[in-house]
Amino acid sequence: MKIAVINNHGQYNHRIYRSLHYLKIPAELVPNTTPWKNLGKKIRWD
């Protein structure tokens, strides 16, 4: 499972992503303009 981190163009989004990366947890930064339909194609929902 990959965690989607919504990018609202702030430092905190990148801190969350970097922390997940250090913990070897799959994550992806996605723009805040990404429609929910397209987000479902990138991220597996469990």
> Which pLDDT score, from 0 to 100, does residue 1 have?
74
The C-alpha angle with vertex 46 and arms to 12 and 13, in degrees rounded to 5, equals: 5
pLDDT in tens, 1-46: 788 899 998 899 999 999 999 999 999 999 999 888 877 766 655 5
Closest CA to 8 of 27, 38, 31: 31
